[in-house]
Structure 1
């Protein structure tokens, strides 16, 4: 993380938590709250949590407790998490009944901004989660891209490039979320415009390890789909099919395999037609 990025996010967090400095956080400010009374932050940008990391944190909590209290605000039904959902989830895994928390008086917009900024500061969101975080700030707080960039200490093109990722089709988004595609590859795929083509090329990029340069060159050329063609039939198989067609008066397909085994497929149009073929084969069904 660059100093500019760190200081930009720092200013955003400090501005929102400025009142913390006025209220020295002492033991009187920290209370134990039942986990059953706590709900996640609805504006939490993080959609996926590393289960192994949660299990490790849960084990630490079992042994040592929760060192850093979470931050919550009162809601109609209990409390909503403002900061600390990982500690909340790990505490549930550790089968704790309560968790230390600081209750803050925050309105909807403050809770949302804190949740988004706190997660962005951690820098472990996947590209789609980060893009959705910026989109949330724009839509819910009615900010422009320029205003978001100023609050976070990032350039406006940086914000714009992430927001563009949200227009990717779902299949390609998932490849990006999983880490199969890089941010640079995903941005290049946007030049293909057609969602079906984007998914198609994205899958090809993962399977063949295509570089950004290769994807850029493909964007100006049609994507060629190589279809598997059936191997040419031998003259013996072809002649056999012709004789069987003449005998049964219907479509017949003979398939030969490399190991000497094969199959004969005889088509029929109706039960009456099937009985006719069976008679030709001297087969009677009682």
Structure 2
């Protein structure tokens, strides 16, 4: 049966086949994990309106006739998943079926396809380098593959050692003012040893909270790591820093809430939800909880007036 599936794949190379969404699996070795949610939503809207313009690429799954593993086109697959959630109807996806001899070749195809995407996140690029290194690629191979310097490749390999909790701070779906930058992250992994994951996380969080620049982040790393004479666990923040964080939070909250109030069409926001009535209730409960916390915060501020 596996040979028959491979034969079908070979016969249909060069033209796409219609495949059910549920028959396509994400490749576990896929290094790409971060996708811009707004982009997936926009792509799903486009597919629903104009249809699928570009087929995805899959390979047959060994030992399971009629099942396929994704090689290229995860954004499109995720968009079809969103359409499935919206409509409750399983989509049919156009896909090119390629013959893959082994998993290493499979991973290499997936990795090479993703490495040349402009929207590839730094962490996904770092994970790709790490996997290629595990498969025997040298630093020089990666340099040639990407046309990058040794320092660039080595920095990104170090970036992959960032603790998962710190990696989430680099998620491109986070707002810019709550996101750890690539430069900050690289400075952290170069300045704080992998054996101190908690310290890496603490510094990453503090750099964001205090809205630190490159020079300030490096100074924080030096103080926290003890390289400037301070003990590694010492407190670097001052009361004035906490106040700056507090006023920055208030400013962001006011600006963001105002922008949403003025720019969002609330009815359109819930239009494509499966249960818009329940979602409205849940969101109202959340907003009321936020208001309650803010009121308590306001009362504490006014206690000594």
Shorter-chain TM-score above 0.5:
yes
The aligned residue for residue 38 of structure 2 is 52
More strand by share: 1
- Cα deviation, 1:20-63, whole Å, max 9, x if unaligned, reads xxx9976xx22111222111122222213333222221121122
Checking the alignment, whether the CA contact within 8 Å between 2:130 and 2:160 is kept in structure 1 is: no
Unaligned 5+ segments in structure 1 are 1-22, 229-257, 261-286
The 3 A distance-change label for structure 1 pair 112 and 60 is same
1:109 aligns with 2:123: no
Change (3 A) 1:89 1:174: closer
Deviation of 1:67 after TM superposition, in Å, equals: 1.4
Deviates more, 1:214-223 or 1:96-105: 214-223
Superposed counterparts of 1:216-231, under 5 Å: 216-218=218-220, 219=222, 220-221=227-228, 222=230, 223-225=234-236
Question: Is structure 2 residue 187 aligned with structure 1 residue 176?
Answer: no
- Matched with 2:280 is none
- Counterpart in 1 of 2:82? 93
Q: Cα distance 1:105–1:209, how it changes in 2: closer, same or farther (>3 A)? A: same
Residue matched to 2:157? 163
Partner of 2:251: none
Partner deviation per Cα, 1:237-269 (whole Å, 9 max, x = no partner): xxxxxxxxxxxxxxxxxxxxx969xxxxxxxxx
What TM-score do you get using the length of structure 2 for normalisation?
A: 0.60
1:141-187 residue CA offsets vs partner (Å, 9 max, x unmatched): 21112112222222222111001112223332222334611111112
Q: What runs of 5+ residues in structure 2 fail to find an aligned partner?
A: 1-10, 85-89, 240-301
How many pairs align?
A: 206
Q: How does 1:30-45 map to 2 (within 5 A)?
A: 30-45=16-31
* 2:142 corresponding residue in structure 1: 148
Q: Go from structure 1 to structure 2 and tell me whether the alpha carbon gap of 1:73 and 1:226 turns closer, same or farther (over 3 Å shift).
A: closer
Per residue, is there more helix in 1 or in 2? 2
Return the match for 2:117 from 122, 135, 152.
122
**Could you tell me which residue of structure 2 aligns to residue 134 of structure 1?**
129
With normalisation by structure 1, the TM-score equals 0.64
Superposed CA RMSD: 2.6
